[in-house]
C-alpha cells in the first residue's frame, strides 16, 4: 500500500476515534454503584463550541471563532479536528503549529429542553463528571459553578436555575497556561516542574503545570507531545430525585479468608426528611449461591451513612492472574420506607480478597512484596500511561485490547503512573475480570507541588472522590501518593539547586508541604475510605522511613541503564532491588506505525519529523538509541534495520533485567518495566505502540513473564540458570543442556532431574565457559537450555558466549510458506542455520501474528497463526522476514 493511502487510512481511523467519544462516555463510571432511584437526562448531545470572541487568537483563527458542533465527552483539539479546522495532531510536525489551541479560551454551549418528568422532581442536580480544567459554568445566564480541577466530579443544585422547556448551558474554559503565567511571573520563584515547553509559550524553569490539578503529561513528556487540552472530557447529566438519593454503596471487607468473609455494606444516602426506613442487601456468588441481610434504620434530613454487617461462609475469593480464578460477587441494596415502598436501590460488583503489602526485615534490608489471600505474589508487569493525548477518544475496544495484551503477556500487575489521569471504572472492571492487579498512583508526576492549604484541600476532595469511586475493585492493590516527587527533591540537580537558592526557611516550608500532602493528607483519605488497600507515600520510596530510591528498602526506579551515563544493559545484573517499579529502554515502533506519521522523505533518525516524534532529550533520543544498537549489535544497514534493531535491543535488554529480578525471588518481588503503551505514535519505552501493535518486547514479555521460566545468563565467564516458578506446589522435571555450533553441529549434551520449589527461584545450573565450550569458538557457539516437565518443554533459553555484535552469525537460510490449513492462514518458517531475532512483517497489511521476535535453531521450524482479512496471495506477496544476519553493516575486515 502506498504511503499516501496508508496515511489516509490512519486519518480515517483518528476521525473514527473522534466519533467514538459517545462510546467512551458510556465507560465513565461503569463500575460505580448503579443507582436505580434517580431520573436522569444525559446532556452529551447537541453541544457547540467556539474560540472565545475576545481571545487573542481569534483574529488569526476566524473560522475557529464561529460556532461548530462539539463532541461531549471530548476536547477542543478533537472538536477542531472533527470540524476540519486543523490537521491531524500526530501527523509529521503538526504539533508545533497547534500550540495556540492550549493558549486560548474556549466557549461551549448547549441548548436543551428539560424533560417534563425530570422537571417534576423535587430535587434537580447538574453533574459534570469532569471539566478540563478552569471552567466557568452558567445556566440560563446565571453563574452556577467555577471548576479548577480536572479530576473532580462537580455536582450543583440546578433546580432554581432551570426552566420548563428550553434552557441554555454555557461553559467557558480558560487556558491554564495563559491564566497562571502572569501570576507566576510575579512570584519570587517557580517550583521545579518536569519538562520545559519546546515551543516558547512558557519560560524555561517557570512551568504552570505544578499549580493546577490537570493531567501533567498534556504539558509534554519525554514520550509524548504537548497538547494542553480543554473541554468537557467526561459526561454531563441532570439527576432528579424526590425523597432519597443513594450517593454511594460500598462493600467494606473487614476480613476475608478461606473460611469466612466478614463484610460491611456501607450506604450513603441523601434524605429529604427524617423518618424510619429499612436497609436490605442481597448478594449472589459466582457459583449462584445467594444470601441477604437487613436492618431497620432511622434517617435524618440530609446526609446519612448506613452500615449493614454481612457474613459469607467459604467465600469464592478473587485471585491475581496465574494464582486462581477471578471470582466476582454481585450485591444489591434497597432502601424502603416504613410501608415497604422502595426509596432507592443500587447494584455493585466486587471480588472478595485480602491484600497486604509485606514489609519484613531480612538479611537484604526491608522487603516490599504484595501478598494476596496470604500468598506472596511476584508482581510481573509494566507501567501504564494514558491511552491517548486526548483521553476521551480512548474507546472501550482499544482499552480492552490493551489490557488483554497485558494479560496475554502473562502480566499480573499494571502501575497507573501519576502524571496522567485516573482510569475509568470500565478499565478497572476489565482488570478485575482479567486478574490484573493495579498499583494506582495519585496524579502527581514528579513536579514539586505547592504547599498552601487551599491546594491541599482541593487535592483532598479529588482524592476522596477517586478513592470512593474505585475502592470496590478487587484489582486495586495499592494507593500510591505520587511518582518521583521525593526522589526528585533529594537527588535531581535542578531540585538541589532550587533548594539552595530559596534559603533554609522556605526550603523547610516546601518540604513540609510535600510531607503534609503525601504522608498525611492522602494517607488519611486512603485509610478512611479504603483501609483494606495499602497506601504508599511515593514511588520510588520507603514510605518516608528514609531516603527514596534505595535498592535495599521499598520500591526502586533504575535508570542508570539508558539515562544518565547510558550504562550497558549488562548493568541490570549488578543491582537487585526489593521491587523494581521502573526501568526501561527505548525503541522505535513498527515501520507501519512510523509511516502513519511520517512521509517517505522523513525516514532518517535525525530528520525534523523523526526528532519531533522523539521526545527524549529534546529530540536527541535517537542518538541514544543508536548508541545502544551499535554497542550491542553493530551499525544498522539502513533506517528500517535501525527500527528493527532498536526493538531487538529493547526486548533483549528488558528480558535480561526481568529474568534477573525473577531469579532473585524472594529478595526481589516485582518487575514493572517502563512502559506498556503510548499516547501517540513515536519513539518511546513502550512494548505496545499507539496503534496496538506489539513490539518485540511484548512478545518477549510473554516468555519472560511466563509462570514457569528458565532464567539464564552468561556473566563473568559462566553460564548460570534458575528455575522460576509461580506455581503453588513443587514441580519435578528435567533440565536438558546442549552446546551447538551455529550450523547445528552438537558439541555436547547432558540431562539431569530438577525440582522447582513453589513460589520461588531455584538454582539449576552454574558452569564455566571452558567446561561448556571445550575449545569451540565462542563466537559461533550457543548453549541451549530446556526445562521439561512431563516430557514437554515449558521454557527454553539460548545463551550466547559473546554479545550479538561479536557473534559470527551465518545466513540462516530462512524459508517461509503461507497456506490455509483449514483453520485460517498459517505461516511456517524454517531455518537451516541459527536464526537470531526473527521478525515477521507484512509491509502495510494489518496482520496479527501468534508469535514473533524469536530464534530458530538449525533445522528447526515454527508455525505462526495469522489473523487478518487479507487473502493468502496478498499475504505471500507482502511477507518479509528479518533476522540479525544482514541487519548490520559488516565491520571493516570482518569475516563472516
Domain that holds residue 832: 815-882
Q: How far apart are CA 233 and CA 241, in angstroms?
A: 25
- Put the strands of the sheet holding 260-271 in their side by side order: 244-256, 260-271, 302-313
Residue 517 lies in a domain: no
pLDDT at 38: 65
Residue 821 lies in a domain: yes
CA-nearest of 673, 669, 674, 594 to 639 is 594
Is residue 176 located within the same domain as residue 45? yes
Read off the pLDDT of residues 214-273 as tens digits, 9 standing for 90 and up: 999 999 999 999 999 999 999 999 999 999 999 999 999 999 999 999 999 999 999 999
CA angle at residue 781 from 709 to 742, to 5 degrees?
95
- 895, pLDDT greater than 60: no
DSSP tag of 541 = B
Residue 795 lies in a domain: yes
pLDDT at 892: 61
DSSP tag of 448 = P
- Grid look-up 518521583 returns 484
- 15, pLDDT greater than 70: no
Residue 833 lies in a domain: yes
CA-nearest of 141, 142, 144, 107 to 127 is 144
Residue 731 lies in a domain: yes
Q: How far apart are CA 421 and CA 218, in angstroms?
A: 10
Residue 450 cell numbers, joined: 505547592
Is residue 793 located within the same domain as residue 855? no
pLDDT at 564: 87
- 653, pLDDT greater than 60: yes
Distance of CA 765 to the CA centre of its chain: 36
Q: How does DSSP assign 107-161, residue by residue?
A: EEEEEEEPPHHHHTSSEEEEEES--BSEEEEEETTEEEEEEEBTT--EEEE-GGG
CA-nearest of 416, 421, 424, 420 to 400 is 424
Read off the pLDDT of residues 732-764 as tens digits, 9 standing for 90 and up: 999 999 999 999 999 999 999 999 999 999 999
Which residues are CB-contacts of 827 (< 8 A; sequence separation ≥ 6)? Answer: 816, 817, 818, 840, 849, 863, 864, 865, 866, 875, 879
pLDDT level of residue 543 (50, 70, 90 thresholds): very high
Which residues are CB-contacts of 245 (< 8 A; sequence separation ≥ 6)? Answer: 35, 37, 38, 123, 239, 269, 270, 344
Residue 564 cell numbers, joined: 544518565
- 12, pLDDT greater than 70: no
Average pLDDT over residues 863-891: 95
Read off the pLDDT of residues 489-538 as tens digits, 9 standing for 90 and up: 999 999 999 999 999 999 999 999 999 999 999 999 999 999 999 999 99
Is residue 20 located within the same domain as residue 135? yes
Is residue 716 located within the same domain as residue 824? no
Domain tally, the chain = 4
3-state DSSP call for residue 821?
Answer: coil
Residue 845 lies in a domain: yes
Helices (H), 549-638: 591-597, 608-612, 621-632
pLDDT at 418: 98
Is residue 166 located within the same domain as residue 22? yes
Is there a contact between 275 and 262 (Cβ–Cβ < 8 Å)?
no
**85-91 contact pairs (CB < 8 A, 24+):** 85/61, 88/10, 88/11, 88/14, 89/225, 89/227, 89/389, 89/390, 89/680, 90/14, 90/225, 90/389, 90/596, 90/597, 90/680, 90/681, 90/690, 91/7, 91/11, 91/597
pLDDT at 342: 93
Residue 540 cell numbers, joined: 520510588
Read off the pLDDT of residues 589-599 as tens digits, 9 standing for 90 and up: 999 999 999 99
Average pLDDT over residues 702-711: 98
Residue 643 cell numbers, joined: 527500527
pLDDT at 618: 94
Q: How far apart are CA 849 and CA 840, in angstroms?
A: 8
307 Rama class: left (phi>0) / alpha (psi -120 to 50) / beta: beta
Is there a contact between 441 and 484 (Cβ–Cβ < 8 Å)?
no
Residue 493 lies in a domain: no
pLDDT at 55: 87
% of the chain at pLDDT higher than 90: 93
pLDDT at 890: 81
Is there a contact between 90 and 679 (Cβ–Cβ < 8 Å)?
no
DSSP tag of 375 = E
Is residue 786 located within the same domain as residue 827? no
Q: How far apart are CA 334 and CA 332, in angstroms?
A: 7
% of the chain at pLDDT higher than 70: 95
Q: Which of 287, 317, 350 is the last residue of a domain?
A: 350
- 123, pLDDT greater than 90: yes
**What's the whole-model pTM score?**
0.94
User: What CATH number does the domain containing 335 carry?
Assistant: 2.60.40.10
CA distances from 260 to 311, 352, 364, 657 (A): 7, 10, 35, 40
pLDDT level of residue 303 (50, 70, 90 thresholds): very high
Q: How far apart are CA 379 and CA 91, in angstroms?
A: 37
3-state DSSP call for residue 637?
Answer: coil
Is residue 230 located within the same domain as residue 270? no
Read off the pLDDT of residues 342-361 as tens digits, 9 standing for 90 and up: 999 999 999 999 999 999 99
- 14, pLDDT greater than 50: no
Is residue 57 located within the same domain as residue 167? yes
Q: What is the enclosing helix (H) or strand (E) of 187?
A: none
Is there a contact between 194 and 207 (Cβ–Cβ < 8 Å)?
yes
pLDDT level of residue 37 (50, 70, 90 thresholds): low
Q: Which of 202, 237, 272 is the last residue of a domain?
A: 237
Residues forming beta bridges with residue 305, ordered by sequence position: 268
Helices (H), 682-748: 696-704
- 894, pLDDT greater than 80: no
Q: How far apart are CA 184 and CA 426, in angstroms?
A: 38
Is there a contact between 219 and 226 (Cβ–Cβ < 8 Å)?
yes
Q: Which parts of 286-427 are beta strand (E)?
A: 290-299, 302-313, 329-337, 342-350, 355-358, 361-362, 365-366, 369-372, 375-377, 379-384, 413-416
Is residue 233 located within the same domain as residue 106? yes
Average pLDDT over residues 462-472: 98
Residue 1 cell numbers, joined: 500500500
Is there a contact between 139 and 154 (Cβ–Cβ < 8 Å)?
no
Is there a contact between 264 and 307 (Cβ–Cβ < 8 Å)?
yes
- 22, pLDDT greater than 60: no
Q: How far apart are CA 648 and CA 659, in angstroms?
A: 16
Q: How far apart are the first and last CA of the chain?
A: 35
Is residue 209 located within the same domain as residue 275? no
Q: What is the mean pLDDT of the chain?
A: 94
Side-chain half-sphere CA neighbours of 182 within 13 A: 4
Q: How far apart are CA 373 and CA 352, in angstroms?
A: 9
Q: Which of 305, 321, 350 is the last residue of a domain?
A: 350
Residue 580 lies in a domain: no
Q: How far apart are CA 787 and CA 736, in angstroms?
A: 7
Residues forming beta bridges with residue 267, ordered by sequence position: 249, 306
- 731, pLDDT greater than 80: yes
Is residue 251 located within the same domain as residue 283? yes
Residue 595 cell numbers, joined: 509511516
pLDDT at 9: 38
- Grid look-up 503565567 returns 181
**Burial label, 584 (beta-carbon count in 10 A; 0-12, 13-18, 19+):** buried
Average pLDDT over residues 814-821: 97
Q: How far apart are CA 286 and CA 319, in angstroms?
A: 13
CA-nearest of 260, 268, 297, 263 to 280 is 297
Is residue 44 located within the same domain as residue 125? yes
User: What CATH number does the domain containing 45 carry?
Assistant: 2.60.120.260
Average pLDDT over residues 399-408: 98
pLDDT at 650: 98
Is there a contact between 347 and 33 (Cβ–Cβ < 8 Å)?
yes
Amino acid at each position: 500500500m502506498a504511503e499516501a493511502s496508508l496515511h489516509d487510512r490512519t486519518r480515517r481511523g483518528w476521525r473514527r476515534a473522534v466519533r467514538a467519544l459517545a462510546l467512551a462516555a458510556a465507560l465513565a463510571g461503569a463500575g460505580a454503584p448503579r443507582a436505580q432511584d434517580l431520573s436522569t437526562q444525559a446532556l452529551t448531545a447537541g453541544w457547540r463550541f467556539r474560540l472565545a470572541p475576545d481571545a487573542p487568537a481569534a483574529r488569526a483563527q476566524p473560522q475557529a471563532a464561529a460556532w461548530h458542533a462539539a463532541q461531549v465527552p471530548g476536547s477542543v483539539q478533537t472538536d477542531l479536528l472533527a470540524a476540519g479546522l486543523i490537521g491531524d495532531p500526530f501527523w509529521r510536525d503538526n504539533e508545533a503549529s497547534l500550540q495556540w489551541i492550549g493558549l486560548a479560551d474556549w466557549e461551549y454551549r448547549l441548548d436543551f429542553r428539560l424533560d417534563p418528568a425530570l422537571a417534576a422532581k423535587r430535587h434537580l442536580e447538574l453533574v459534570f463528571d469532569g471539566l478540563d480544567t478552569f471552567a466557568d459554568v452558567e445556566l440560563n445566564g446565571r453563574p452556577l459553578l467555577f471548576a479548577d480541577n480536572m479530576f473532580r466530579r462537580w455536582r450543583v443544585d440546578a433546580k432554581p436555575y432551570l426552566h420548563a422547556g428550553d434552557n441554555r448551558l454555557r461553559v467557558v474554559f480558560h487556558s491554564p497556561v495563559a491564566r497562571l503565567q502572569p501570576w507566576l511571573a510575579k512570584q519570587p520563584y517557580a517550583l521545579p516542574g518536569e519538562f520545559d515547553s519546546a515551543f516558547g509559550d512558557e519560560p524555561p524553569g517557570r512551568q504552570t503545570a505544578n499549580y493546577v490539578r490537570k493531567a501533567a503529561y498534556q504539558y509534554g513528556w519525554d514520550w509524548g507531545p504537548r497538547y494542553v487540552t480543554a473541554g468537557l472530557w467526561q459526561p454531563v447529566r441532570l439527576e432528579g430525585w424526590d425523597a432519597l438519593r443513594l450517593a454511594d454503596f460500598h462493600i467494606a471487607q473487614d476480613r476475608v479468608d478461606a473460611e469466612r468473609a466478614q463484610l460491611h455494606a456501607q450506604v450513603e444516602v441523601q434524605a429529604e426528611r427524617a423518618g424510619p426506613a429499612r436497609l436490605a442487601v442481597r448478594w449472589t456468588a459466582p457459583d449462584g449461591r445467594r444470601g441477604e441481610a437487613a436492618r431497620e434504620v432511622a434517617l435524618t434530613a440530609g446526609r446519612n451513612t448506613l452500615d449493614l454487617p454481612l457474613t459469607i461462609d467459604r467465600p469464592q475469593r478473587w485471585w491475581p492472574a496465574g494464582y486462581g480464578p477471578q471470582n466476582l460477587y454481585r450485591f444489591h441494596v434497597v432502601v424502603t420506607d416504613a410501608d415497604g415502598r422502595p426509596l432507592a436501590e443500587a447494584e455493585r460488583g466486587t471480588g472478595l480478597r485480602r491484600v497486604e503489602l509485606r514489609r519484613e526485615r531480612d538479611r537484604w534490608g526491608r522487603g516490599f512484596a504484595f501478598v494476596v489471600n496470604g500468598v506472596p505474589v511476584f508482581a510481573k508487569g509494566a507501567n501504564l500511561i494514558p491511552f491517548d493525548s486526548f483521553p476521551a477518544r480512548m474507546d472501550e475496544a482499544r482499552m480492552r485490547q490493551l489490557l488483554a495484551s497485558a494479560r496475554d503477556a502473562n502480566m499480573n500487575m499494571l502501575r497507573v503512573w501519576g502524571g496522567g489521569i485516573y482510569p475509568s471504572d470500565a478499565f478497572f472492571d476489565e482488570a478485575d475480570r482479567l486478574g490484573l492487579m493495579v498499583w494506582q498512583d495519585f496524579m502527581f508526576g514528579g513536579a514539586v507541588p505547592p504547599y498552601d492549604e487551599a491546594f491541599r484541600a482541593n487535592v483532598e476532595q479529588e482524592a476522596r472522590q477517586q478513592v470512593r469511586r474505585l475502592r470496590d475493585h478487587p484489582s486495586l492493590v495499592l494507593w500510591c501518593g505520587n511518582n518521583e516527587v521525593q526522589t526528585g527533591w533529594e537527588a535531581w540537580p535542578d531540585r538541589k539547586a532550587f533548594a539552595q537558592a530559596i534559603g533554609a526557611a522556605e526550603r523547610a516550608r516546601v518540604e513540609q508541604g510535600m510531607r503534609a500532602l503525601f504522608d498525611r493528607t492522602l494517607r488519611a483519605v486512603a485509610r478512611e475510605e479504603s483501609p483494606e488497600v495499602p497506601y504508599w507515600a511515593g514511588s520510588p520510596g520507603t514510605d518516608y522511613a528514609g531516603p527514596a530510591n534505595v535498592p535495599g528498602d521499598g520500591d526502586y526506579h533504575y535508570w542508570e541503564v539508558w539515562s544518565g551515563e547510558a550504562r550497558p544493559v549488562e548493568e541490570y545484573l549488578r543491582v537487585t532491588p526489593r521491587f523494581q517499579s521502573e526501568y526501561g529502554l527505548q525503541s522505535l515502533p513498527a515501520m507501519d506505525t512510523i509511516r502513519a506519521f511520517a512521509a517517505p522523505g522523513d525516514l532518517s533518525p535525525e530528520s525534523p519529523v523523526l526528532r519531533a516524534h522523539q521526545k527524549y532529550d529534546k529530540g536527541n533520543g535517537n542518538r541514544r538509541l543508536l548508541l545502544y544498537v551499535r554497542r550491542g549489535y553493530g551499525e544498522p544497514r539502513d533506517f528500517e534495520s535501525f527500527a528493527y534493531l532498536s526493538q531487538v535491543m529493547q526486548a533483549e535488554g528488558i528480558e535480561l533485567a526481568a529474568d534477573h529480578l525473577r531469579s532473585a525471588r524472594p529478595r526481589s518481588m516485582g518487575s514493572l518495566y517502563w512502559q506498556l503503551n503510548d499516547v501517540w505514535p513515536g519513539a518511546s519505552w513502550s512494548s505496545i505502540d499507539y496503534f496496538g501493535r506489539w513490539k518485540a518486547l511484548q512478545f518477549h514479555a510473554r516468555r519472560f513473564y511466563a509462570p514457569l521460566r528458565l532464567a539464564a545468563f552468561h556473566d563473568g565467564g559462566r553460564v548460570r540458570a534458575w528455575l522460576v516458578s509461580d506455581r503453588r506446589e513443587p514441580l519435578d522435571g528435567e533440565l536438558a543442556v546442549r552446546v551447538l555450533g551455529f550450523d547445528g553441529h552438537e558439541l555436547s549434551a547432558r540431562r539431569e532431574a530438577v525440582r522447582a520449589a513453589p513460589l520461588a527461584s531455584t538454582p539449576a545450573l552454574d558452569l564455566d565457559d571452558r567446561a561448556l565450550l571445550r575449545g569451540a569458538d565462542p563466537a559461533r557457539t550457543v548453549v541451549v537450555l530446556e526445562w521439561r516437565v512431563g516430557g514437554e518443554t515449558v521454557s527454553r533459553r539460548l545463551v550466547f558466549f559473546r554479545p550479538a555484535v561479536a557473534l559470527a552469525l551465518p545466513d540462516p537460510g530462512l524459508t517461509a510458506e503461507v497456506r490455509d490449513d483449514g483453520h485460517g492462514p498459517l505461516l511456517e518458517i524454517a531455518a537451516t542455520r541459527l536464526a537470531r531475532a526473527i521478525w515477521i512483517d507484512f509491509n502495510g497489511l494489518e496482520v496479527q501474528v501468534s508469535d514473533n521476535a524469536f530464534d530458530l535453531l538449525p533445522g528447526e521450524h515454527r508455525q505462526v497463526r495469522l489473523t487478518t482479512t487479507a487473502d493468502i496471495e496478498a499475504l505471500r506477496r507482502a511477507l518479509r522476514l528479518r533476522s540479525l544476519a544482514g541487519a548490520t553493516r559488516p565491520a571493516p575486515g570482518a569475516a563472516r
